[in-house]
Chain A
Amino acid sequence: MSDLFRFLVIFGLQSAAIYAVAASGLVVTYTTSGIFNFAHGAIGMIAAFTYWELSQNRGWPALVALAVVLLIEAPLIGWILDRVLMRRLTGASTITTIVVTIGLLVALVQLAAIIWPQGTTTRVLPEFFSGSSIKMVGVNVSYHSLIVLACAIGVAVGLRVVLYGSRLGVAMRAVVDDRNLGGLNGVDPDRVSSAAWMLGCMLAALAGVLIAPILPQFTPVALTLLVISAYAAAMVGRLRSLPLTFVGALLLGEFENLLNFIDTKRLGGDAVADLARNLQASAPVILLFVVLICLPEDRTSLGANRVRNLIPRPSLRTVTIAVAAYVAVAFVVAQSGLVSDNTVRELGKGVALGVVMLSLVLLTGYAGQVSLAQLGFAGIGAVVVWKLGPVVGLVGGVLVAAGVGALVALPALKMRGLYLALTTMAFALLLEKNVYGDNAVFSQLKPFAIGNSSAERPPGLGGDTAFFVTMAVAFGLVALLLTVIRNGSFGRRLQAMKDSPAACSTLGLSLSATKLQVFALSAAIAGLGGGLFAMWKGSSVGRNDFSLLEGALPGLPLVLVAVVLGITSVFGAMFGSVAFVMMPVLGGWFSSVRSAMNLLPGLAGVGLAQNPDGVVSQVAGAVGGNGHEDTEPAGPPPLEPEHMGAGRPFTDDDLARLDDELGLSWGRCDAVARTP
């Protein structure tokens, strides 16, 4: 009995306090700024490393270092973030805010790796009052743990008072609800938003400094990942309620320690014990997944999508020419010996990843659905190719990935934006941990976890040149397929869904079916890319290649590069994939730019605050007019559906065409047609 008490109360509370401290900052930032800050953990990490630098490396007194970090550095970071980035995000689409903050995360982690290089020295950040503890039910609880718990409670109470009791707090919430209305009522939105980010960053810094000494490994990645574990707690409070967030943190802490406490071996033998241990490793992710699916979405966070982007519609002819050029270049590159074998190897990975990026163009660019799981689907394709061989495996991989994609779409049917991003992220993490990762529930897949599996190429395509060109052709075919889709009625349905799901429903479109189709199709494309990637690499294929945060090709930067270079066009994927693999190679050639190359994906993501459409379409816009072209004859009517309603009222012809495009046959809305 005292054992149970010890596990649930002492250990459980210790874990819960850590999660609570980590999650409360997330909630505060979201409440006061409306932006879910993926980089919250990374900001805390920077603060913790600064604290280490001052207190350990330079020998400053702990209190002075703490004051500098919490009262000067953190507010400064918050102020800069607000001035440089967050203010520009007012009214931006959810995907833009997601990508910008993920970009910030990646950039900060890389920045920390440059300032405080890992891999050479072990840094230790001692606990506060290291070594002192008091005894509770036979367990010595360190002062540090008590401080964490006290801070968690203090933060909860303090925030409640500030947010609901002070004028500033009310103003913060008012500005999030309606910036203009707040302004009309005498609130200075800019000042309030600065204050909100300064407060959020101080909480992040507090969490970083408190948590860093508890983590065995004091590294940028470990600290950043811990806060991701805390997402589950924040979601229990639906990113708004602090008390519920604390309940979530408590649930998470207890869940982990309950799994520790129960002697699963005695209950169900080795198999059950293995399963429990494997699941325990991903307890935070499982909880996040469950919470996202079970809790109703926070409707207030939705609102109308205020940004309406026209997606470029390159003609089939243009894309065909581009694809032909792409394949020709691929042929020359692979054949001529102009480029070294080592570089060709990296470029080949780029071509395969390009296919994965195309799946993002379809899903995110065309349909407006955010997914962080595409590299996970690619991993599924690779697993199936490894297991079933080249031809059957590739077909099978595409089918299995499509099936899994549809499965992910089921809980996603009712979600949008942030919730969807988090759900797909949780799913990707589960995939890479429990399906083909270190804690694989299926032991047959363990070789994949450690990169010990290999993939053969189809007969006749064994040579590097042949396969390189084959991959380029596959990329081209998918690009053409997407162009056909974009120009067809399915593409219009996707655009409509992206613009306004509510309007789509009103028009009688089945959102569920459309979402399911587009998720399955994009997962299938990602699976194809993963299968090609595995075959190109050939040996030592494994989880490392398909991981979201760790590994050789981390997935988050991949998403960043895809989005930044233009997620709305197949050309973006063409450039993005090559840039993605070439950046580290370039860093390898010229050591002077290595740091810059590591930082680039993150910075580019941050730069999206400026160019929500991505670079390729921006440049195309700058160079050649409006960046999209239509082959259909230019002339007044009939207008493209995207252009209807602009400049003149809808006509009957317009509506007929709209019905036709959307595949609607239930009649037309005369009332609209008659409005002057």
Chain B
Amino acid sequence: MKRTSIALLCTVLLVLSACGSRVSDNEAGSGQGLNAGGAQSGGDGSGGGGDTKNKIGTLENPCSAAKANGAAGSAKPAPGVTADTIRIGVISDKKNDITPVPTIGIEEAVKGFVAMCNESGGINGRQLELKTYDSQIFKTDDVTKSACNDDLFALVGTGSVQDQQGVSTREACGLPEVGAYSATPERSTSKNFFQPVPGTRSNVFNNGPCKYLKKKFPEAVKKAAVVYTDVPAASSRGLATKEACIKAGFDFVVDKGIAFGEKNFGPVVSEMKSKNVEYFTIVSVVPDTAALLREMKNQDYMPKVIDLGQQYYDEAMAAEPAAAGAFVLTNTTPFAEEDDTPALQLYSEWLEKEGGRPSSLGVQAFSAGLLFAQAAASLGNDLTREALVAALKDIHEWDGGGLQMTTDPGSGTHNDCFLYLRIQDGKFERAFPEKGFECDPKNIVKLSKEYTTAG
């Protein structure tokens, strides 16, 4: 008995004594530690992706070994930059005990990008060093503080579900961020934040998809239903969608929040059925949505139109038989079109080497890496955070070499394109438009109020 307790106390003492060790801190906060890339294999032209050295899809490869001419512009070297290396970081949700999250595959995508860029010679000959941080859903602010302390040049390809956290921390420490995406308006409008597909605003919305569905299903959208998980981020998004679609001519007869962890979707399905809902959209997560659709099927009731956002572009959703026929939005080029999209081939090729799972947000993370590289490479030896931000602000047309819709990341204008996939036979198939993305600046509508995450 006493032996057990002494053993336990020893564990505690071990914990305490380990606090003094600084050496191990270099490995803190990440499973991988530094991932200096130079030694990456796979450089022997292995590729369906075409010649990585020069082109990434339609984009000139921003990475190269050619040293920039000219001396450094500023006297003081920027954080994370040496003569041979640039140190960047990526924050994403990896491990958590609660639920699978849509940000899976982001970290691997950024690792893939770094390996690819380093293989091409780095950014003007400087190899990229990547530090990875796991925000574990609840720890976004904590790992942002770690990133602030870790002498990074910038955050690249980040994406966490609760990204309203850590915003003020990052702004205060001056770390620029080229994120994979933003989950909340707090993040998307924060200082020195750029993303390949600008969106998630509190009072602006792209209602191009609503207009398209209104045109295609004029009757159905008059009996519309919006359902959302009753947590602030999801409900504000659901209500913003509702208003934007009303502007496109929808009439909503059901507007329902469902409790987090709800297990019985019978009542909400019953309500929709009794009100003859023909159009249905939901802001929730894949498992809950699948369960709700199953309940619809069970009740012999399927709305004519099921409209799902980008987070549902996930194999698990397509695999759900009850989701057959659902429309699903995507910001990135469909994976089914990889054969015709060299940039997407490169993404898949490098992701595979990192053992990641393909995901639309992962593609955006890869695109964010390219966006960062493009801006950083244009700076030559004048690698400062200020110059990086200025260069990013100057990029007004971006499609990641064909990875995604064309956007204006420099000014952060809300994206105005869309692409609908449809779930058929367990697969995502392109529904509209026939090619590329459907874009129109008029798709951007202003909403009557601020739909902030904080309700």
Contact = CB atoms under 8 A, between A and B. Distances in A.
Check if A and B associate: yes
B35 interface: no
B166 A540 contact: yes
B11 A120 contact: no
A446 B274 contact: no
B308 to A, nearest CB: 15
Contact of A118 (B22, B30, B99, B139): B99
A590 B454 contact: no
Contact of A539 (B29, B96, B138, B166): B166
Interface stretch (B78-86, B204-212, B286-294, B369-377): B286-294
Most buried by A among B5, B31, B292, B453: B5
B45 interface: no
Contacts of A11: 264, 266-267, 270
A131 B94 CA distance: 33
Given A216-B287, A340-B22, A451 B141 contact: yes
Contacts of A450: 162, 164-165, 232-233, 453-454
B300 A582 contact: no
Chain B interface size range: 35 or more
B221 to A, nearest CB: 22
A565 interface: yes
A222 interface: yes
A518 interface: no
Contact of B266 (A18, A139, A590): A139
Contacts of B162: 450-451
Contact of A140 (B15, B22, B300): B300
B282 to A, nearest CB: 12
Contacts of A535: none
B100 A120 contact: yes
Interface stretch (B63-71, B114-122, B253-261, B332-340): B253-261
Given A340-B25, A342-B149, A225 B168 contact: no
Given A339-B19, A345-B145, A589-B27, A220 B97 contact: yes
A527 interface: no
A353 B164 CA distance: 24
B140 interface: yes
B6 A619 contact: yes
B298 A140 contact: yes
Given A339-B19, A342-B149, A588 B29 contact: yes
A339 B104 contact: no
Given A216-B263, A217-B261, A582-B16, A120 B357 contact: yes
B230 A139 contact: no
B149 A277 contact: no
A109 interface: yes
Interface in A572-627: 575, 578-579, 582-583, 585-586, 588-591, 600, 604, 607, 610-611, 615-616, 618-619, 621-622
A140 B299 contact: yes
B39 interface: no
Given A217-B288, A551-B138, A342 B15 contact: no
A610 B99 contact: no
A18 B263 contact: yes
Interface string B8-20: 1101101110111
Contact of A586 (B4, B15, B267, B288): B15
A119 B96 contact: yes
Contacts of B75: none
A15 B95 contact: no
Interface string A549-579: 0111000000000001100000000010011
A294 B248 CA distance: 52
A343 interface: yes
B373 to A, nearest CB: 28
B40 interface: no
Interface stretch (A2-10, A30-38, A390-398, A414-422): A2-10
B25 A343 contact: yes
A109 B97 contact: yes
A11 B298 CA distance: 14
Contacts of A219: 97-99
Interface in B1-53: 1-2, 4-6, 8-9, 11-12, 14-16, 18-22, 24-25, 27-31
B408 interface: no
A341 interface: yes
Contacts of A544: 138
Given A11-B267, A615-B5, A438 B165 contact: no
Interface residues of A, number: 94
Contacts of B266: 10-11, 14, 139
A60 interface: no
Interface in A209-223: 211, 214-222
B169 interface: yes
Nearest to A283: B259
B391 interface: no
Most buried by A among B15, B29, B104, B162: B15
Given A119-B95, A342-B145, A582-B18, A610 B28 contact: no
A539 B169 contact: yes
Nearest to B101: A119
A249 to B, nearest CB: 13
Contact of B298 (A142, A281, A343, A588): A142
A257 B97 contact: no
Nearest to B33: A591
Interface string A177-220: 00000000000000000000000000000000001001111111
Contacts of A619: 2, 5-6, 9
B186 A261 contact: no
Contacts of A500: none
B230 A118 contact: no
Contacts of B268: 260
Given A216-B288, A540-B140, A551-B138, A451 B267 contact: no
A57 to B, nearest CB: 15
Contacts of A278: 230
A90 interface: no
Interface string B165-198: 1101100100000000000001000000000000
Contacts of A257: 264, 267
A222 B261 contact: yes
Given A565-B12, A578-B15, A119 B93 contact: yes
Contacts of B100: 118-122
A124 B323 CA distance: 15
A528 interface: no
A113 B95 CA distance: 9
B232 to A, nearest CB: 5
A257 B232 CA distance: 23
Nearest to B98: A221
Contact of B453 (A113, A347, A452, A454): A452
Contacts of A600: 11
Contacts of B297: 131
The 10 closest A-B pairs by CB, nearest first: A540-B141, A216-B291, A618-B5, A281-B259, A540-B165, A340-B25, A552-B138, A260-B267, A216-B288, A446-B455
Interface of A: 3, 6-7, 10-11, 14-15, 18, 109-110, 113, 117-122, 124, 131, 133, 139-140, 142, 211, 214-222, 225-226, 256-257, 260-261, 277-278, 280-281, 333, 338-343, 345, 347, 438-439, 443, 446-447, 449-452, 454, 537, 539-540, 542, 544, 550-552, 564-565, 575, 578-579, 582-583, 585-586, 588-591, 600, 604, 607, 610-611, 615-616, 618-619, 621-622
Given A15-B263, A564-B8, 19 more contacts: A3-B274, A11-B270, A15-B264, A119-B93, A119-B96, A124-B287, A131-B298, A133-B298, A211-B263, A219-B98, A260-B268, A277-B257, A343-B19, A446-B454, A446-B455, A539-B141, A578-B15, A582-B18, A589-B18
19 contacts: A10-B266, A15-B263, A119-B100, A119-B101, A122-B316, A131-B297, A140-B300, A214-B264, A216-B292, A257-B267, A340-B25, A342-B28, A347-B19, A452-B164, A539-B166, A540-B141, A600-B11, A611-B4, A619-B6
